[in-house]
Amino acid sequence: MTAVELLSRLVGFATVSRDSNLALIEFIEGYLDEFDIPHQRIESDDGRKANLLARIGPAVEGGVVLSGHTDVVPVDGQPWSTDPFELVEKDDGKLYGRGTCDMKGFIACALAEVPRWVTRPLTRPIYLAFSYDEEIGCVGAPRMIERLMADHPRPAAVIVGEPTLMAPVTAQKGATNLRTVVTGREAHSSQVNQGVSAIHVAARLVARIEDVMQELQAEGRIDEAFNVVHSSLHVGKIAGGTAINIMARECSFEWEIRHLPQDRFDDLLGRVNDYARSLEKAMQERAPEAGITTHCLNTTVPALADRDNAAALSLCHDLLGERPTEAVAYATEAGQFQREGLATVICGPGSIAQAHQPDEYITYEQLDAGAAFMARLGESLC
C-alpha cells in the first residue's frame, strides 16, 4: 500500500487517548506479518492499549529508531467539515482527518517503505517504535524504551516523527500537569471573619504562578532558540464555590509547567509551593482544618536538550540536506529517549499548526517528503 492508502487505514481507527488503540496495533501487526518482520507488544497495565516495537534488518548495534505515537486528541465540540475518522482528499492538495499530521502521517510513511526495506541488504536495523497515550503525558513510551534497551542492540539514533515540516528539531521543553486543591472553611458571606474563602486563597496562588514566570524572565533565564523564550507556567482550569453568599470551602485548579531544558521542574514548583505554605499557615491560624495540596497529574515529560545528538542530527542532514535546527515549546517523547543516552531529534512531515485543530490535514507535498526521507533512510543503512 502507498503512504496515502496506509494513512487512510490508520485515520479510520479512532484512537483517541481515552479509548483503546488495540485495533490499530492489530492492523499494523498483520501488515508486518506479511513481510515476516519480528515485532512485540508492550501493553498497558490494564491491557487496553499497547506499544508496538518492530525490527527490520539485522540484530546489530547502530540502528535507527523511528518513533511515533498512535493516539490522537478528541474531536468533541470541534466544527469539523468532514468525518474526522475518515481520510478525505480534497482538490487543495490536502488530506483531512484526525491524526493526519499528528502523527499518523509519519507512521504511514514508515510502513509504506517496509516492503522495500525488507528487500535491501541492510547492515544496520530500522526499528519501528509506536506508542500509546503520548497525548496525555507521554505515558506509554517509557516501558517501550525500556524494552528496546533491554532486548535489542543499542541504536545509534532516534527520529521522533512529530510534525516539523521535515525540519530537524533539537530541543523541546519539558512538561508537567498539576492539580492544586485549596480547602478553606465555609461561612455566610456576611460573616467573613468566621470563614476562610478557598477561592480568595486560590486566586492569590494563581497570581503567584504567573509571578514566578515573570521572575524567570527578570532573572535572565531565557533561551532565544524557543519562540517562548522562558519556562512557562499556566493555569488552564479552575472551579470552586457553591453559592454567591457562601464563603467557598473548596477551590481547585489545574495548571502546567513547561520548563526549558536548562531549568529544573522541581525548582520551579518549589517557588510556587513556598508561597503556598505561607498562605496555608495564615489560613490555619483561623481554620486549622484548612490546607493546600498540589499533586502531579503525570510524570514529568523530560525536556530535550540540544546535546549528544550528533548521530541523529547528522543522519537528518545526510537525508534532507543541511537545514537550520529548531526548538519547540510542545512536549514529545524525544526527551524520554535522550534520558536513556540515545541521540535523538524530532523530525516529521506536516505542520504542528494543524495538530489538534478541527479539519486537521497534511499536504501531499509533506507526505511525499516523509516518504522520500524513508526511502533515503533505507539506502543509507545498506
**pTM metric for this prediction:** 0.91
Helix axis angle for 3-11 and 105-117, nearest 10°, is 130
Are residue 319 and residue 272 in the same domain, yes or no?
no
Provide the residue type at 66 as one letter: L
Rounded Cα gap, residues 251 and 128, in angstroms: 45
Pairing of strands 126-131, 50-56: antiparallel
pLDDT per position in the chain (382 positions), as tens?
999 999 999 999 999 999 999 999 999 999 999 999 999 999 999 999 999 999 999 999 999 999 999 999 999 999 999 999 999 998 888 999 999 999 999 999 999 999 999 999 999 999 999 999 999 999 999 999 999 999 999 999 999 999 999 999 999 999 999 999 999 999 999 999 999 999 999 999 999 999 999 999 999 999 999 999 999 999 999 999 999 999 999 999 999 999 999 999 999 999 999 999 999 999 999 999 999 999 999 999 999 999 999 999 999 999 999 889 999 999 999 999 999 999 999 999 999 999 999 999 999 999 999 999 999 999 999 9
Closest among 261, 228, 254 to 240, alpha carbons compared: 254
Grid cell, residue 85, equals 475518522
Are residue 165 and residue 23 in the same domain, yes or no?
yes
Provide the residue type at 356 as one letter: H
Grid cell, residue 37, equals 518482520
CATH code of residue 92: 3.40.630.10
Q: Among 245, 274, 296, where does a domain finish?
A: 296
CATH code of residue 185: 3.30.70.360
Are residue 157 and residue 45 in the same domain, yes or no?
yes
Question: What pLDDT, on the 0 to 100 scale, is given for residue 380?
Answer: 97
Rounded Cα gap, residues 301 and 138, in angstroms: 7
189: containing domain = 174-296
Q: Looking at residue 354, what DSSP letter applies?
A: G
Are residue 290 and residue 312 in the same domain, yes or no?
no
Grid cell, residue 179, equals 492539580
Helix axis angle for 364-380 and 105-117, nearest 10°, is 40
Secondary-structure percent of the chain, ordered helix, strand, coil, rounded to 5: 35, 25, 45
In the 3-class helix/strand/coil scheme, how is 79-137 assigned residue by residue?
A: CCCCCCCCCEECCCCEEECCCHHHHHHHHHHHHHHHHHHCCCCCCCCEEEEEECCCCCC
Q: b/e per residue, 172-195, with b = 16+ CB within 10 A?
A: bbbbbbbebbbbbbbbeeeeeeeb
Are residue 202 and residue 329 in the same domain, yes or no?
no
Q: Among 259, 279, 296, where does a domain finish?
A: 296
- The total of structural domains in the chain comes to 2
Question: What pLDDT, on the 0 to 100 scale, is given for residue 109?
Answer: 98
Question: What pLDDT, on the 0 to 100 scale, is given for residue 93?
Answer: 86
Are residue 73 and residue 219 in the same domain, yes or no?
no
* Active-site residue, selected from the candidate residues 102, 113, 133, 134: 134
Are residue 289 and residue 352 in the same domain, yes or no?
no
* Active-site residue, selected from the candidate residues 71, 280, 326, 333: 71
Strands (E) in the chain, as ranges, are: 39-43, 50-56, 64-69, 88-89, 94-96, 126-131, 157-160, 169-172, 174-183, 232-240, 250-259, 291-296, 326-328, 344-346, 361-363
Are residue 267 and residue 337 in the same domain, yes or no?
no
Q: Among 273, 296, 319, where does a domain finish?
A: 296
Total length of the chain: 382
Are residue 28 and residue 77 in the same domain, yes or no?
yes
Are residue 269 and residue 307 in the same domain, yes or no?
no
Are residue 37 and residue 166 in the same domain, yes or no?
yes
134 is a catalytic site residue = yes
Question: What pLDDT, on the 0 to 100 scale, is given for residue 37?
Answer: 98
Provide the residue type at 220 as one letter: G
Q: Which residues are registered as beta bridge partners of 294?
A: 180
Are residue 42 and residue 156 in the same domain, yes or no?
yes
Q: Is residue 378 within a helix (H) or strand (E), and if so which, with residue range?
A: helix 364-380
